[in-house]
Amino acid sequence: MSTEKFVEPLCYDYKYLFRPDLLKGKVAFITGGGSGICFTIAEIFMRHQCDTVIVSRNLTRLQASSKCLENATGQKCLPVKADVRKPEEIKEAVIKALQEFQRIDILINGAAGNFLCPAAKLSFNAFRTVMDIDTMGTFNASKIVFEKYMTDHGGVIVNITSTQHISGVPMQCHVGAAKSAIEALTKHLAVEWGPNNVRIMCVAPGPVEETEGYRRLAGPASKEDILKIIPIRKIGTRCDIANIILFVVSEAAGLLTGSCIIADGGSWMGMMSAVFNQIPPPKL
| Chain residues in the site for ligand NAP (CB under 6 A) | 31-32, 34-38, 56-58, 61, 83-85, 110-113, 133, 137, 160, 162, 205, 207-208, 211-214
258-277 positions binding ligand HXC, by CB under 6 A: none
Partner whose footprint covers residue 37, from ligand HXC, ligand NAP, none (CB < 5 to 8 Å by kind): ligand NAP
What are the residues facing 156 on neighbouring strands? 106, 199
Partner whose footprint covers residue 31, from ligand HXC, ligand NAP, none (CB < 5 to 8 Å by kind): ligand NAP
Dihedrals φ, ψ of 102, to 5°? Answer: 65, 10
166-179 burial, b at 16+ Cβ within 10 Å, e below that, comes to beebebbbbbbbbb
CB of 213 to ligand HXC, least distance (A): 3
Sole window of 67-75, 86-94, 120-128, 195-203 interacting with ligand HXC (rule: CB under 6 A): 120-128
Among 34, 79, 110, 113, binds ligand HXC (CB under 6 A): 113
Partner whose footprint covers residue 117, from ligand HXC, ligand NAP, none (CB < 5 to 8 Å by kind): ligand HXC
Rule CB under 6 A: say whether 239 interacts with ligand HXC. no
Q: How far apart are CA 155 and CA 92, in angstroms?
A: 20
171-210 positions binding ligand HXC, by CB under 6 A: 175, 207
Sole window of 111-119, 139-147, 186-194, 271-279 interacting with ligand HXC (rule: CB under 6 A): 111-119
CB of 80 to ligand HXC, least distance (A): 17
Angle (CA) 191-149-32 rounded to 5° is: 85
Which residue in the shown chain puts its C-beta closest to ligand NAP?
Answer: 36
